[in-house]
Structure 1
């Protein structure tokens, strides 16, 4: 039997391969997942770095997308509900060049629970900002390389 993290990574890889190939090409891996926090790492490789040997900003956006969106999808699946999920806006503050593997952390589990409760109760679309912090633990510890604020938009699906 697969552990919850292995199941999550299998689902993420399958979703990327079949639905969003750029996620699959970036090879994100979930390393921690609980009710309040998700941590996703993307390795710095030839495909993910730019001409300055730091992580390409498009890949940083993929990491933020996965960290913010995976928690919402996982929580909806735990409740047995299908949701429509999208990001309506993104704000990114790039603080330092990430020159190693990047860890994306989202600590907004409670906010996402509240959003799901509201979306299920009202049947309406709910939009709120989630925060994702990107760090390079191997080089800079917990010092942020980038901070993203993504407006998560969820609605319960009819089917």
Structure 2
């Protein structure tokens, strides 16, 4: 029997392969997924690094997308709600070169719950920024390598 985290990783892998191949190519892996927080790891490999041997900024954007989006989709699925999910705005601050595997941390579980409540109650689209922090624990502990603010847009499918 698969654990909930293993099932979530299987779903993420299948979603990437079938719907968004760039996600699949980056090989993200969920390390933690609970009501409050998600942690996604993307390994630094030939495919994900730039000419400076650090993680390419496009891959950093993929990691932020997965961290913010997967939590919202997972929560909606658990509730039995069908939602349309998109990102409307992206702001990224690149603070330090990530020269190892990168973990993307989103701790906005409560905010996403509030967004789901509102869109399911009103049927209207709800837009709120979610925060994602990229860290390289093997080199720099919890020091941020990049910080993202993505405006998550949710709309209940009624």
User: TM-score under structure 2 normalisation?
Assistant: 0.99
Q: Which residue of 2 aligns with 1:31?
A: 31
Which 5+ residue runs of structure 1 have no aligned equivalent?
none
Q: After superposition, what is the alpha-carbon deviation per residue over 1:126-148, rounded to whole angstroms, capped at 9, x for unaligned?
A: 00000000000000000000000
SS for the counterpart of 2:73 is helix
**1:112 Cα deviation from its structure 2 partner:** 0.1
Q: Using the alignment, how far apart are the partners of 1:157 and 1:2 within structure 2?
A: 29
Q: Which residue of 2 aligns with 1:99?
A: 99
Q: Which residue of 1 aligns with 2:69?
A: 69
Query: Once superposed, which parts of structure 1, at least 4 consecutive aligned residues long, lie more than 3 Å away?
Result: none
CA-based RMSD = 0.4
Q: After superposition, what is the alpha-carbon deviation per residue over 1:87-128, rounded to whole angstroms, capped at 9, x for unaligned?
A: 000000000000000000000000000000000000000000
Q: Using the alignment, how far apart are the partners of 2:87 and 2:157 within structure 1?
A: 16
SS for the counterpart of 2:74 is helix
Aligned residues, how many? Answer: 158
User: TM-score under structure 1 normalisation?
Assistant: 0.99
**1:44 Cα deviation from its structure 2 partner:** 0.1
Q: Using the alignment, how far apart are the partners of 1:99 and 1:157 within structure 2?
A: 41
Q: Using the alignment, how far apart are the partners of 1:82 and 1:138 within structure 2?
A: 38
